[in-house]
Amino acid sequence: MGELLSQGPLFLACLIFMMGIVVIVHEYGHYLAGRAFGAAVESFSIGFGSPIYERKDKRGTRWRINWIPLGGFVKFAGEAQTAGDIGKIEGGLVGRPYPDLSVGQRSIVSLAGPLANFVLASVIFALMIGTFGRPNVEIGVYAVNDGAPAAMAGMEAGDIVVSANGKPVKMASDIQLAVMLNPGTPVNFVVRRDDVERTLVITPKEMVRENEVGQMVPQGTIGVSLASVSVQAPTRYNPVEAVGQGVIQTGKTIEQTVTMLSRIITGRMSVHTMSGPVGIGDVSRRIVNRVWSQEDVSVGTRISELFWMLLGMCASISVGIGFFNLLPLPVLDGGHLVFNAYEALTGRHLPEKVQEVSLTFGLILLLGMVVVITWGDVIETGLFGSGSG
């Protein structure tokens, strides 16, 4: 706890850096799409609350940096983001009121933010894959815990893991991901033992344990220790191929996000598996600490390692933010798409009273989700003695 409190400035710096990049890209996607259709923009805000900095451009748009670094928003003239906005159109702005845009144009504006996040993730993944390639590592089982799910299914030390859940294993994280996403769900593992391939069906067990950065979190486990058996040259890609691989990796990350969310909704994974801004800041802080504590490694190498680790984390966060905003909650982009779909099908706007109730309910539900996720994040930070780092 003392370490966490003493590192408050580092925590805030990591939080602002990681969330800032993703939020700015998301909101700028909305902004560019709206401007392309001639919409008047009332404000472009990073963070919430009172502004630390604000300026107004020649089009009347207020550009703001606010005190609470937990998100951001773009407000178009006449756009109903909360119940209090319905029927109001701000004056003194250059451009068309948002309601004057066609339903198709408004839908594109709503989609532009999440799409910008997916593009950012694809660019980052492409950069990383183009630089390092994809690893080709043969992963073996170093040890199996007595009584663990793996032991009960017949997995043994010395087994080479060929595939997990139908997907080839090229690095340890392929196994860890299959286990993490499937607590309580049977997973097929193909292992090679004495040059013979065997299929083992193992059901991961969810338990609270320390993750790779030192947080105590609910995770699926099968009770094995893994080790690299052989390391081959990574698969390399030219720039065009790397872009394609970046898009593929973004698609895989979206698929993993959908799987995790479906598991949470059906009660097969803990809701605390999800992380919010506090969790993101804490993980970033822990990564900085662990990399920088390698005193036998040169400063240049540590900076490079830290850069790539945080960049990869940024890509994953960007996918998460983009997908989360597509959920059909009235205050999110997905909710606006639902409103637009109603208008496209019926030829008229959703009644104002229905909009008011929907936006109010959506805001309450969103705040409730934020409280639950943030509380889980706070516990994972070890602030109350349940974690380390």
| Residues with catalytic function | 27
Question: ∠343-346-350 over CA atoms, to 5°?
Answer: 45
Instruction: Output DSSP code: residue 145.
Output: -
Alpha carbon distance 129, 237 (integer Å) = 8
Radius of gyration of the chain (CA): 23
Angle (deg, nearest 10), helices 333-346 and 352-381? 160
Site of tokens 């894959």:
129
333-346 vs 103-132: helix crossing angle, rounded to 10: 140
Distance, CA of 138 to CA of 156 (rounded, Å) = 16
Instruction: Give the helix ranges, DSSP H, for 293-351.
Output: 299-324, 333-346
On the 0-12 / 13-18 / 19+ scale of CB atoms within 10 A, 106 is: buried
Question: Could you tell me the two tokens for 112?
Answer: 């532009």
